[in-house]
């Protein structure tokens, strides 16, 4: 077996397991947890285009989730536009806002960039909370928007069961992963990581770092907004403190950092580990000692960072390579 074959085989195996999972997981609870897990993996992978490859730390990505969620929801509630089109509209609006944020902020480094994105996101949340009606659009301020569960069906992006949502988010996740893989191998990807690590050197080599970052930001905000529409259609209720919250922005970034930013598998690993930890902690400890679940969550964050500052993908890819080596190499490789 060659390395390529092995890779194709394991990829196919994972795909088969993921696709077949709903056949075995009948409980809506676990499907719900799985869907959220994929959703966060998707969000984090989208974030990774900027936060991982471009080497900055955006902490306001919930803005784009909010834009996606609000755009498609308002369009469908008030104008009867199917959320699928609203999804694209939200994505485009999000690109606009993303570039608007990126233009000035990409000149900053480190802490300033992180804080600027926080301020942008919080500013937008405050605005949404203060606006009940924007021209003809009913935003409903802090009270949020509810999507009545009336018209089920694919065209309306609304289903009574969880399985359709499962397959939609799996498709979205697969697409965004493939896209990231493609980008990471493209010229843009190399420019981005060069610009992220050594901006001066990259610029000296003639790479337009700022433009590359902007393109990455545009892609990232577009993809993130799509997840916003998914979120709205999945929970059928959005309000500023849920879809534009700082907590959400942080969680997206943390999953990436825990998993290993800048790698394709990192966000997935982060979501696989962190999401269940937070869910399980809440489920089993949330009622007994209030707040204990968040303490455990905090401890896990700290431990991972102390022992694996490069994220979880490091030991995992090591493990993967070892297994792959053992299975594929007939000739013992040089240590």
Of residues 252 through 271, those in contact with other proteins by CB under 8 A are: 254, 257-258
Element counts in the chain: helices (H) and strands (E):
14, 4
Q: Considering beta carbons, is residue 88 or 119 the nearer one to other proteins?
A: 119
Pick one of 78, 104, 178, 182: the residue that binds other proteins (CB under 8 A). Answer: 104
* 283 near other proteins (CB under 8 A): yes
What 3-state DSSP class applies to 137? Answer: strand
β strands within 77-144, DSSP E: 133-134, 137-138
Q: Where in 48-77 is the site for other proteins (CB under 8 A)?
A: 57
Q: CA angle 63-64-69, nearest 5°?
A: 100
* 79 near other proteins (CB under 8 A): no
What 3-state DSSP class applies to 287? Answer: coil
* 115 near other proteins (CB under 8 A): yes
* 153 near other proteins (CB under 8 A): no
Q: How far, CA to CA in Å, does 124 sit from each of 12, 63, 67, 108, 245?
A: 42, 7, 10, 20, 10
Q: Which listed range, 13-21, 77-85, 219-227, 298-306, lies at the site for other proteins (CB under 8 A)?
A: 298-306
Q: How far is the CB of 12 from other proteins (least distance, A)?
A: 26
- C-alpha dihedral, 155 to 98 to 218 to 208, nearest 10°: 180
Rounded Cα gap, residues 157 and 165, in angstroms: 9
Q: Where in 224-243 is the site for other proteins (CB under 8 A)?
A: 235-237, 239, 241-242
Phi–psi pair at 282, nearest 5 degrees:
-65, -40
Q: How far is the CB of 67 from other proteins (least distance, A)?
A: 17
* 323 near other proteins (CB under 8 A): no
Q: How far is the CB of 162 from other proteins (least distance, A)?
A: 9
Q: Which listed range, 16-24, 75-83, 182-190, 311-319, lies at the site for other proteins (CB under 8 A)?
A: 311-319
Q: How far is the CB of 149 from other proteins (least distance, A)?
A: 6
* 198 near other proteins (CB under 8 A): no
Q: How far, CA to CA in Å, does 301 sit from each of 61, 62, 268?
A: 20, 20, 16
Pick one of 88, 198, 286, 320: the residue that binds other proteins (CB under 8 A). Answer: 286
């Amino acid at each position: 077996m060659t390395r390529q074959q092995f890779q194709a085989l394991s990829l196919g195996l994972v795909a088969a397991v993921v696709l077949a999972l709903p056949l075995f997981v009948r409980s809506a609870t676990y499907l719900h947890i799985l869907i959220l897990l994929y959703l966060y993996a998707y969000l984090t992978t989208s974030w990774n285009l900027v936060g991982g490859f471009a080497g900055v730390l955006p902490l306001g990505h919930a803005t784009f989730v909010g834009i996606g969620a609000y755009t498609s929801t308002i369009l469908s509630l008030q104008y009867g536009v199917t959320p699928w089109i609203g999804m694209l509209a939200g994505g485009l609006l999000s690109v606009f806002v993303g570039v608007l944020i990126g233009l000035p902020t990409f000149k900053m480094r480190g802490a300033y960039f992180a804080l600027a994105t926080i301020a942008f996101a919080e500013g937008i949340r405050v605005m949404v909370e203060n606006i009940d009606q924007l021209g003809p659009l009913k935003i409903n301020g802090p009270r949020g928007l509810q999507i009545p569960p009336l018209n089920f069906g694919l065209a309306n992006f609304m289903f009574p069961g969880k399985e359709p949502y499962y397959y939609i988010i799996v498709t979205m996740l697969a697409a965004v992963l493939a896209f990231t893989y493609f980008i990471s191998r493209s010229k843009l990807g190399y420019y981005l990581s060069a610009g992220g690590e050594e901006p001066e050197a990259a610029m000296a080599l003639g790479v337009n770092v700022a433009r590359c970052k902007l393109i990455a930001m545009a892609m990232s905000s577009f993809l993130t907004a799509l997840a916003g529409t998914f979120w709205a259609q999945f929970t059928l209720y959005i309000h500023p403190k849920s879809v534009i919250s700082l907590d959400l922005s942080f969680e997206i970034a943390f999953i990436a950092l825990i998993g290993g930013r800048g790698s394709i598998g990192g966000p997935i690993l982060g979501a696989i580990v962190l999401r269940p930890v937070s869910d399980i902690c809440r489920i089993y400890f949330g009622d007994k000692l209030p707040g204990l679940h968040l303490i455990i969550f905090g401890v896990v964050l700290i431990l991972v960072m102390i022992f694996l500052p490069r994220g979880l993908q490091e030991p995992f890819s090591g493990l993967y390579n070892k297994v792959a080596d053992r299975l594929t190499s007939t000739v013992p490789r040089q240590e």
